[in-house]
Structure 1
Amino acid sequence: MGFTSNCIHVAILVLALALVSRARVLDPVDHSSTPEFVRIQGSQFVLRRSTFLFNGFNAYWMMTVASDPSKRHQVTEVFRDASAAGMSVCRTWAFADGSSNALLLSPGTYDERVFQGLDFVVSEARRFNIFLILSFVNNYKDYGGRPQYVQWARNAGVQVNNDDDFYTHPVVKGYYRNHVQRVITRINTITRVAYKDEPTIMAWELMNEPRCEADYSGRTVNGWVQEMASFVKSIDNKHLLEIGMEGFYGDTMPEKKQFNPGYQVGTDFISNHLIKEIDFATIHAYPDIWLAKQNEEAQNAFMGRWMESHSTDAQTILKKPLVIAEFGKSSKDPGFTSSARDLYMGAVYSSIYKSARNGGTLGGGLVWQVLAQGMQPYGDGYEIVLADNPTTAAVISRQSHAMAALSHQCKIHRQAGRQGSTRQVFEPECMEFVSALAAGRQAKLIVEITTQGITPLTLALAVAATQTGGHLICIVPHKTTKNIISNQLKQHFELDKVARIVIGDPCQVIKHYKSIDFAVIDGKYEDHLRLFKIIIDMKQKGSVVVVNSKVCRKSFGEVVKGKRGSVESVVSFPFGQGMELTRMGSSNSCRSGKSRRFYTVEELIRQQKIYLLCQFVPIM
């Protein structure tokens, strides 16, 4: 997927996003009705009968922290900040076995205080409209895991040889099944809803990173997955189920082993995920750990192959959705910088987004891991405190809103198809960027001046308004255009609730709006340059102006000539092809060209952020 080159290209996007003000902290979402369960349809996630694409995070520690009521604010803080960044899925532990602050003290014996901590996590996730993936057990000794289960059996006088007996010994498997049943059937003490009936829970996970040194073929783990997946589904067929796999290949397709990081761990990505009770596949990605002795270039190359191979296999062999359930960059890596982390995350996000946009199986990614302020003991080098890392939060927010916008576009495509429309509703070249830019700034008042009826930008802005709880004002100079827009918004796209049509001279009407957060000017409007100048002269601090036009950038340089500000840079966004950066000359001259690219010319005038989008028609 061009992972190495993406790191370079994403740098430009990160620089642009760094200039976008950080989204304000959101209040909890008010659920007016019970949310629906996330489902699977083919190789896509579906929510409310529409494609569900997401961006999310890991926060393994939540239940443990929430078991202490005095620390529950840290869980709330992370959910609030994650929601503000647009993240909609959180993966966390539903286990703590025989360790400090244990949930499962011994087989069948639970600490109700810790269980109530998990109740709080579920209820808070629902408050902030964030879905949960809950894992039942750990592969490692941290938080008990497989070793603790085997030790319990040994303490009871059962003959067990090693930790891999977890997968085969009937007593140990019985311990595990009992825990699974106890969690799934628990009634939340806060919501009074049984976990098996709770739509906030997106999926169950059988184990965090299963491994088996006793059988590298993957057959032992495969038998265990088959048995336990069937057991889970016999109790709860409402929720999705996944294994918790890292993605290592096994003996089913030996030729695939070339994509492993030089070794096997006793799992088989193909055969394990072909089990029918498993709803979607997962991979984890830690090239800095798996290939610790190799340089960053080699690690990035591995990452590209790892993601591309699994994405292809999920689509052509498994025919199931795929989630990158863990990835990140450690501050303990040699030469670590936050900008390097932003580049790495941006490259991963770019691969996920491209797959989703092209109809691939990648439904989302979960970065490892997000903490609240003051949680240093839970840090492992990969932690991100969103409030303390604004540039990283901006990268995350952009991905979240881009994936959400893409989800909405998929819905619009589907609605248009049902109504027999043959028109291409969305041109995905830059509309996701515009929508994400507006949504990422939490723009409440969005204004579009349009002469062409409903356009891809109209839809992109309406999508952004639905995400921010804001409004879109469409200023049109002709009544005919108003009728076209309002009818299309209402009949086809159900976005009329956030959009309002205003008729009149745009240069006069625009003056009535004193708190514009985001404005888009149609370059085909005959007075678009005068309108652009009017908006600049309105001196609305922090506003963003986007001009969609096929005219040369030079004309806009003339508009701002002599004002207190300067053209800093021109960023070319050939979406799906990478990104390039060029500099404007001192005279604001520009090269005109004919390529399918979108250029943003960034102006800094009286603290306004102005993005001029110019589309050049490709040579036919």
Structure 2
Amino acid sequence: MTITRRDALAGASAAVAALALPGGATAHEPPPAFVTREGTRLMRHGKPYRIVGANLWYAAWLGADAEFGDRARLLRELDRLKALGINNLRIMAAAEEGPLRNSIKPGFTRADGLENPALFEGLDFALAAIAERRMTAVLVLSNFWEWSGGLQTIQWRATGRFIDMGDPAHPWPAFADATAAAYANPQVVALYLLHVRALLARRNSVTGTRYADDPAIMSWQLANEPRPGGSDAAIAANRAAYLAWIAKTAEVIRAIAPHQLVSLGQEGTQATNGDGALVAEAHAAVDYVTAHIWPLNWSWVRGDDLEGTWPEGKRKVEAYIAAHVAIAEALGKPLLIEEFGFPRDGEAYAPGVATTFREAYYRTIYDAVETSWSTGGVIGGSNFWAWNGEARAAHPDARFRDGDRAYMGDPPHEPQGWYGVFDSDAAMHRVIRAHAALAAATA
């Protein structure tokens, strides 16, 4: 290669600029407080950053200084999670109000398309509290599913049409196929990116830090479980638009927030009807691979016979993990198991019911993570679904109703208490705490 005078001058200028930066870092190197990726490892402060995480989708709602908020409870929940050894929280940073039957209200975006300042300020408060506890957050920028409005509601704003998940007039996979049409609709994508850019440019009202400069934000996540469709035909038809949406959004985020990671939020091959090649393509433009694992939802176990079905369910869980390890290895990127949930014994919802098989399931996930940590593998950590904390179901049928304020990890379309971990679940706490202690001891 021939080096020109221009190249030499550029190199000299870069060297001078590097000397002017703290610690001799170059302009392209993030400060050490940011979580970064080095090959298949996540790093922070110069050493591997092992994710011992939880899902806390409702953090911004509790953080709001409004009738629907409860800042005191949010601080209590964060303190409980910190005491368990949790260092990373996956939270919703988007919700769209509209006509969908089971979507949470209020949202970050009102039905008229205007922002709801109270929720943005709630997110500010939550991020400040997370940073104060030396934790990090994954901010989820939309949702494929209906419970926070998501892409289906953004399509309604753009087109006036919508489909409710579970509507008998539109059986599966109609909802998934209709939602996946969002990626090819320029108006829908523009509305989606409007919210993304607003968050990237936002300055935290509590800390004064611009979101794009905040090391407490580990990752910007494109959406919760974005799928290219539900039917094979829709997946094939939407493939190009889906991949283009991922690449475009990642490009937008990196241009404004180059020090923070970008993630997709996909379940893995369950989202592509088994197409591992599409999972790999979908993660080519982001920083790490994500996998979600739901044995009951995917009929790998039966809630009324966990004892009889768990052994085969466990084998399927382990095979699913192995398949996504292989994808991450081929891409040379970390893998995070960022959602995994399991019912209580007998598929009960009340916090007093035993968690025998849930404990076994968590240990299965944690065993895979810990083995990866000890062998230098690609699994960087996990986030259990989800933290219920001190919340309790407000109604005897354990169903969420508009106006309820006892937010918990089970979102509003699901039975309250189905998968979440309560503050009283001592046996579950022991499992989580032991995993976190091992992460701290071997980091």
The TM-score normalised by the length of structure 1 is: 0.54
Q: Distance in 2 between matches of 1:220 and 1:332?
A: 42
Pairing partner for 1:245 from 266, 275, 291: 266
Kindly report which structure 2 residues correspond to 1:404-483, keeping only aligned pairs within 5 A, or say none. Answer: 404-407=440-443
**Amino acid of the residue matched to residue 355 of structure 2?**
S
Q: Which amino acid aligns with 1:362?
A: I
Tell me the CA shift for residue 74 of structure 1.
2.0
Partner of 1:24: none
Q: CA deviation at 1:249?
A: 6.8
Structure 1 distance, partners of 2:40, 2:386, is: 26
Asked whether the equivalents of residues 142 and 150 of structure 2 are also in contact (C-alpha less than 8 Å), the reply is yes
Contact 2:300/2:312, CA 8 A, preserved across alignment: no
Q: What is the one-letter code of the residue matched to 2:121?
A: Q
**In 2, Cα distance between equivalents of 1:194 and 1:137:** 20
Q: 1:384 maps to which residue?
A: 421
Give the superposition deviation at 1:337: 3.2
Tell me the CA shift for residue 65 of structure 1: 2.4
2:214 to 166, 177, 198: 198
- Bigger drift between 161-170 and 356-365 goes to 161-170
Asked if 2 retains the 8 angstrom alpha-carbon contact of 1:108 and 1:179, the reply is: no
Higher deviation after alignment, 266-275 or 226-235: 266-275
**Equivalent position of 1:592 in the other structure:** none
- Structure 1: which 5+ residue stretches go unaligned? 1-33, 251-259, 408-620
Deviation at 1:298, TM superposition (A): 2.0
Letter in 1 for 2:427: T
In the alignment, what sits opposite 1:98? Answer: 97
1:281 is matched by which residue type in structure 2? V
Assess if the C-alpha contact under 8 Å between 1:216 and 1:265 holds in 2: no
Partner of 1:72: 71
Q: Give the match for residue 285 of structure 1.
A: 293
Q: Counterpart of 2:361 in structure 1: which amino acid?
A: Y
What SS does the aligned partner of 2:110 have? Answer: strand
Task: Give the drift of 1:209.
Answer: 0.3
Deviations 1:233-279 (A, max 9, x none): 122111000000101178xxxxxxxxx8xx4599921111122xx11
Structure 1 residue matching 2:338: 3-state secondary structure: strand
Alignment pair present for 1:398 and 2:398: no
Aligned with residue 221 of structure 1, among 216, 221, 242: 242
Distance in structure 1 (CA, Å) of the matches to 2:276 and 2:192: 20
Unaligned runs of at least 5 residues, structure 2: 1-30, 99-104, 162-176, 303-308, 394-399, 401-407, 409-415
Q: What is the alpha-carbon distance in structure 2 between the residues aligned to residue 215 and residue 341 of structure 1?
A: 34
Q: TM-score, normalised by structure 2?
A: 0.75
Structure-2 change in CA distance of 1:318 and 1:35 (3 Å): closer
CA distance in 2, matches of 1:282, 1:108: 30
CA distance in 2, matches of 1:151, 1:138: 14
Equivalent position amino acid for 1:43 in 2: T
Q: What are the residue-to-residue correspondences of 1:524-603 with 2, within 5 Å?
A: none
Q: Does 1:235 align with 2:248?
A: no
Matches within 5 A, 1:507-526: none
What secondary structure, in the 3-state scheme, does the structure 1 residue paired with 2:148 have?
coil
Aligned to 2:185: 169
Q: Distance in 1 between matches of 2:202 and 2:215?
A: 14
Which stretch of the first structure deviates more once superposed, 211-220 or 97-106?
Answer: 211-220
Aligned twin of 1:327: 340
Native 8 Å contact 1:215 1:266 kept in 2: no
Q: Sequence identity, in percent?
A: 23
Q: Which residue of 2 aligns with 1:272?
A: 282
Deviations 1:463-505 (A, max 9, x none): xxxxxxxxxxxxxxxxxxxxxxxxxxxxxxxxxxxxxxxxxxx
The match for 1:209 is: 225
Equivalent position to 1:39, from 12, 36, 41: 36
Larger Rg: 1
Report the counterpart of residue 112 of structure 1 in structure 2: 117
Q: In structure 2, do the counterparts of structure 1 residues 332 and 183 end up closer, same or farther at CA, with 3 Å as the change threshold?
A: farther
Corresponding residue pairs, total: 355
Whole-angstrom CA distance in 2 between matches of 1:103 and 1:147 = 15
Give the AA of the match of 1:128: R
Deviation by residue 1:567-599 (Cα, 9 ceiling, x = unmatched): xxxxxxxxxxxxxxxxxxxxxxxxxxxxxxxxx
Task: Supply the distance in 2 between the matched residues of 1:235 and 1:308 (Cα, whole angstroms).
Answer: 35
Do the aligned partners of 2:266 and 2:291 also contact (CA within 8 Å) in 1? yes
- Per the alignment, do residues 103 and 205 of structure 1 end up closer, same or farther by CA in structure 2, a change over 3 Å counting? same
Any conservation in 2 of the 1:105–1:111 contact (CA below 8 Å)? yes
Residue in 2 that maps onto 1:48? 45
1:307-362 Cα shifts (integer Å, max 9, x gaps): 112112212x1100110000021237548831221121112101110011100010
The answer to whether the Cα contact below 8 Å between 1:311 and 1:322 also exists between their aligned partners in 2 is yes
Match of 2:59 among 59, 62, 70: 62
Q: Distance in 2 between matches of 1:66 and 1:267?
A: 40
1:313/1:264 Cα in 2 relative to 1: closer, same or farther (>3 Å)? closer
- Is 1:364 the counterpart of 2:381? The answer is yes
Q: Secondary structure at the match of 1:325?
A: strand
Change beyond 3 A, Cα 1:64–1:284: same
The Cα of 1:219 is off from its aligned counterpart by 3.6
Of residues 265-274 and 61-70 in structure 1, the stretch that sits farther from structure 2 once superposed is 265-274
- State the one-letter code of the partner of 1:94: A
> 1:288 deviation in Å?
1.4
* Cα shift readout 1:127-165 (whole Å, capped 9, x = no counterpart): 111100000000011111111000001149xxxx94333
**Is the CA contact 2:60–2:123 (under 8 Å) kept in the aligned structure 1?**
yes
How far apart are 1:372 and its partner, in Å? 2.4
Residue in 2 that maps onto 1:614:
none
d(CA) in 2 for partners of 1:267 and 1:106? 37
